[in-house]
Amino acid sequence: MLKSFLMAENYEVIAVSDGESVCEKFFSDDFNLVLLDLMLPKRNGMEVLGKIRESSTVPILMISAKD
């Protein structure tokens, strides 16, 4: 749903479904913003956040269905 909304507003969106894929995609392209879910398979959002922060200061918005 979020992807569809952002694309309707003319944002370029790349969506992946697990933490490993996030890391692979992030380090192979250039991004202005990351929307990161805490509950990802393979690598959770906090692990991915740490990996991104080792080399980048790109803005990251954490999203989650957790309380």
Give the pLDDT confidence of 3-27 residue by residue, as tens digits. Answer: 999 999 999 999 999 999 999 999 9
- What's the per-residue H, E or C state across the chain? CHHHHHHHCCCCCCCCCCHHHHHHHHCCCCCCCEEEECCCCCCCHHHHHHHHHCCCCCCEEEECCCC
**What's the rounded Cα separation, in Å, for the pair 51 and 59?**
14
Please give the torsion angle defined by the CA atoms of residues 47, 11, 65 and 20, in that order, rounded to the nearest 10 degrees: -30
Model pLDDT, residue 49 = 96
Give the pLDDT confidence of 36-58 residue by residue, as tens digits. Answer: 999 999 999 999 999 999 999 99
Model pLDDT, residue 64 = 87
pTM of the full structure: 0.84
